[in-house]
Amino acid sequence: MAGSPRCGLCGKAERLTRTECCGQWICDDADQYVLFSYARNSCARNHDRYTLCSHHHNEGHASRWQECEICRRDFPTEMYVYYGTNEYNFEKLPNPPAYAPTRCSRCKRVIRLAEDGYTLKGDEYLCLRCANREFSPTRKRG
């Protein structure tokens, strides 16, 4: 049927709902997510968990999320840019700020905070390889 609503992220036309944050049509599929699977198979969950739009709404901030200074301060710049520009957004952040890549404190390998596994040790970011070495039960200490 022409003109029927479709998910603004994937284009499907069945089992839709509107987002609480921005009122956009989206798949009503959060029930498809398996706990602790880290799957990105749910349009509703992805928008709810991985966008500034949803964060802004859930935190009750005033104004538009694109201009919200509180949202800007809530995340490291790399994650702020990711949450504002990823494929789970209906509207992307215009002119996202530049940032230096996050690097492992040990081996200096780039860690993509939104994509790669890593561990924090105090203020240090450790890639998984270095974290495994650091916290290995067979590591000789002292």
pLDDT digits (tens, 9 = 90+) for 92-135: 999 999 999 999 999 999 999 999 999 999 999 999 999 999 88
81 and 115 co-located in one domain? no
User: Rounded to two decimals, what is the model's pTM?
Assistant: 0.87
CB neighbours (10 Å) of residue 61?
16
- Tell me the pLDDT tens digit for each residue of 21-78: 999 999 998 888 778 777 788 999 999 999 999 999 999 999 999 999 999 999 999 9
CB neighbours (10 Å) of residue 117?
10
24 and 68 co-located in one domain? yes
Which residues have a Cβ under 8 Å from the Cβ of 116 and sit 6 or more positions away? 127, 128
Q: How far apart are CA 118 and CA 120, in angstroms?
A: 7
CB 107, CB 118: distance < 8 Å: no
Domain of 127 in residue numbering reads as 102-135
Number of folded domains that form the chain: 2
Q: How far apart are CA 95 and CA 39, in angstroms?
A: 29
77 and 115 co-located in one domain? no
Backbone angles phi, psi at 28, to 5 degrees: -90, 75
CB 119, CB 132: distance < 8 Å: no
61 and 110 co-located in one domain? no
39 and 74 co-located in one domain? yes
Identify whether 1 is part of a domain.
no
119 and 80 co-located in one domain? no
Which residues have a Cβ under 8 Å from the Cβ of 11 and sit 6 or more positions away? none
- Residue 69: both structure tokens together: 């200074």
